[in-house]
Amino acid sequence: MWQDFTEYLLKEAESNPVKMAEVGVGKFGKVAEALSKNDNITLIKTDINPDNDDIIRDDIKNPNLSLYEDVDIIYSIRPPSELQPHLVNLAEKIGSQLIIKPLTNEDLNTGRVKMKLKNYKKASFYILR
């Protein structure tokens, strides 16, 4: 499933250079690791409590918008439901696509905004364009 999710993100960067931001990185780095190997992707990683120097400290509830300048795609893996509306707000403010990969069978908490369910091979996630 993670391979399929990663493959989908890589396909988004096939023809043009893309700037992506993973918000709420936590300790799961497999997707970011694979994306960072692609020359067509510039990747920033943020978390409120970064556990290494590759992750930028940022609070999604009050984001530093300058960090996300020119970001084309924001993605978040298993974000807590209380943070999901803040992800939507950030994506709308910067004009970015948003991809949320929730826990299996978790309902989204995106408030007034409806995200589209996307099934890509064995991966399921939600997209806001």
pLDDT in tens, 77-127: 999 999 999 999 999 999 999 999 988 777 787 877 889 999 999 999 999
Using CA atoms, how far apart are residues 76 and 99, in angstroms rounded to an integer?
Answer: 7
Residue 39's pLDDT band (cuts 50, 70, 90): very high
Residue 26's pLDDT band (cuts 50, 70, 90): confident
Write the CATH number for 120.
3.40.50.150
Task: Provide the domain limits for residue 45.
Answer: 2-10+17-128
Number of domains forming the structure of the chain: 1
**pLDDT of res. 111:** 77
**pLDDT of res. 91:** 97
